[in-house]
Amino acid sequence: MKPTLFVLAAGMGSRYGGLKQLDGLGPAGETIMDYSIFDAVNAGFGKLVFVIRKSFEADFREKIVSKYEKKIPVELVFQELDNLPEGFTPHPERVKPWGTNHAVMMGKEVIHEPFAVINADDFYGRESFSVLADFLSGLGDSENRYCMVGYRVGNTLSESGTVARGVCETDAEGNLTGVVERTQVMRVDGKVSYKDENNQWVAIGDHTPVSMNMWGFTPDYFRYSDDYFVQFLKENAENIKAEYFIPLLVNHLTVNGQVTVKVLDTPSKWFGVTYAEDRPDVVAKLKELAERGDYPSPLW
């Protein structure tokens, strides 16, 4: 059974107006997402599902879906503020979407096999898709066995400033026991460090695994998502900025012993445009990958 790649793209149009941030960064005008799809197809993923906002469906079908549907089956699902369980309505002042795990919930009608979740605008690297596809392909009909690609923190930093990273804690079997969000991570005196609660820099090893929102789940995850979302909404009824994030549910399920989440190591270097100043660096990295022969140019 081939796994599905689920791409979180609902934040796109809202942040930049239209699909402008599907910026051509590769040597032949490729977007970062083009590389993810290319790597996923080559790793053995069998279907693509995008979650987007309904308001830019026409634009997305014309610019994005048309490009991929000749290579792999593609489905679109939609995340909207009023996609809520019975009995709930959005706060009238709420404008922000409900977060990454709410976006994932939109896939339950079209995904019936093990699936991976990624951000649309992050470069994850070939090896990451490969380890993820291998793990998911071996799951069959099993439940409660998930995974996360754990990037070595030293491979995920920005030259332009601090980054936020979910630092992972694991047990002896390599299963996730917790993710601690660190909002300021950078190299200090050559060592990867984060700022702790007392404003002190704390050094951590370069290979410490961090979450870059690259997950692997089986379809039972949708059931857990629905159940916990009701609790989340009850607790956050008045908070118009509260978001239902993937790590929130994953932490809840692992702490309660309902699931295991294997942290998969990858040597891939992650990169993305965290700051506007990162753009030239990303363009240079993609050019170098093409020149080394790691990727054809143009990609497709």
Domain extents in the chain: 4-152+209-291
For residue 169, pLDDT over 80 is answered with yes
User: Is 36 in a helix, a strand, or coil?
Assistant: helix
- Which has the higher per-residue pLDDT, 223 or 276? 223
For residue 12, pLDDT over 70 is answered with no
Q: What angle do CA 280, 283, 284 make, to 5 degrees?
A: 85
Q: Identify the architecture of domain 4-152+209-291 in CATH.
A: Alpha-Beta Complex (3.90)
Spatial contact of 149 and 36, defined as CB atoms under 8 Å apart:
no
Closest CA to 220 of 142, 119, 110, 106: 142
Per-residue model confidence (pLDDT) at position 212: 93
For residue 15, pLDDT over 60 is answered with no
Banded pLDDT at 17 (limits 50, 70, 90): very low
Q: How far apart are the C-alpha atoms of 51 and 22, rounded to whole Å? A: 15
Ramachandran region of residue 240, left (φ > 0), alpha (ψ -120 to 50) or beta? alpha
User: Is 277 in a helix, a strand, or coil?
Assistant: helix
Residues whose CB is less than 8 angstroms from the CB of residue 211 and which lie 6 or more positions away in sequence, other chains included: 148, 150, 151, 165, 166, 168, 179, 247
For residue 274, pLDDT over 80 is answered with no
Question: How confident is the model over 114-129, as a mean pLDDT?
Answer: 96
Per-residue model confidence (pLDDT) at position 144: 98
Tens digit of each residue's pLDDT (9 = 90 or more) over 60-114: 898 889 999 989 999 999 998 777 888 888 777 777 788 899 999 999 999 999 9
For residue 183, pLDDT over 70 is answered with yes
Question: How confident is the model over 23-49, as a mean pLDDT?
Answer: 94
Spatial contact of 83 and 90, defined as CB atoms under 8 Å apart:
no
pTM of the shown model: 0.92
- Which has the higher per-residue pLDDT, 159 or 190? 190
